[in-house]
Amino acid sequence: MEYVSLFVKSIFVDNMIFAYFLGMCSYLAVSKNVKTANGLGAAVIFVLAVTLPINYLLYTYVLKPGALLWLGEGFADVNLSFLSFIVFIATIAAIVQIVEMVVEKFAPSLYSSLGIFLPLIAVNCSILGGSLFMQNKDFAGIGESFTYALGSGIGWWLAIVALAAIREKMAYAHVPAPLKGLGITFITVGLMGMAFMTFMGISL
């Protein structure tokens, strides 16, 4: 039950885009049509679901104050948390790069549809944001961190597909010329964000 509520909460209440406004750059840039939005969304779900449990393990067993206790009593006071930023970033960049290489080698068709988004994801702050939130939320185990990652990823995917659908429809609307494209997208996202705020009050 806890997993279900964490899952639902991370999709809607703690939505990466509308509650925290993370990962906006690629969100705005790659939401012109539903198909590419789907691709990027899937890539974000995948990378979040892989990197977050890994970062969880790194944090719990290496970086957290006193985390090195399993090496022996002498390591009880070692605090490596000053490294956590750089370790998280390196993990994410490494995973993204590995995934890119593997996909390119073994599934060229998937690579041609997804591959171009992968480098974009390394700099997508929702991924690093996920790892930083994990550090803050004190998850009980790797299962919880995986659930959270999956939920956040799906929330991000949902948000980008919704925006892409709106933008596709907007092609038929009369938008003032200077506002076309980026300008109206900003305003649309702002309005969507206000709508999503209604989820904030829900406690699960």
Q: What does the binding site for other proteins look like in residue numbers (CB under 8 A)?
A: 21-25, 28-29, 65-66, 79, 82-83, 85-86, 89-90, 93-94, 96-97, 101, 119, 122-123, 125, 128-129, 132-133, 136-138, 176-187, 189-194, 197, 200
CB of 81 to other proteins, least distance (A): 9
Whichever of 1 and 177 has its CB closer to other proteins, that residue is 177
Whichever of 116 and 123 has its CB closer to other proteins, that residue is 123
CB of 3 to other proteins, least distance (A): 19
Quote the strand ranges of 21-170, DSSP E.
Answer: none
Whichever of 1 and 86 has its CB closer to other proteins, that residue is 86
Neighbours of 185 (CB within 10 A): 20
Q: For residue 153, with 0-12 CB atoms within 10 Å meaning exposed, 13-18 middle and 19 or more buried, which class applies?
A: buried
CB of 120 to other proteins, least distance (A): 9
C-alpha atoms less than 13 angstroms from C-alpha of 91 in its C-beta half-sphere: 24
What is the DSSP code (8-state) at residue 11? I
Burial 70-84 (b: 16+ CB within 10 A, else e): eeeeeeeeeeeeeeb
CB of 8 to other proteins, least distance (A): 17
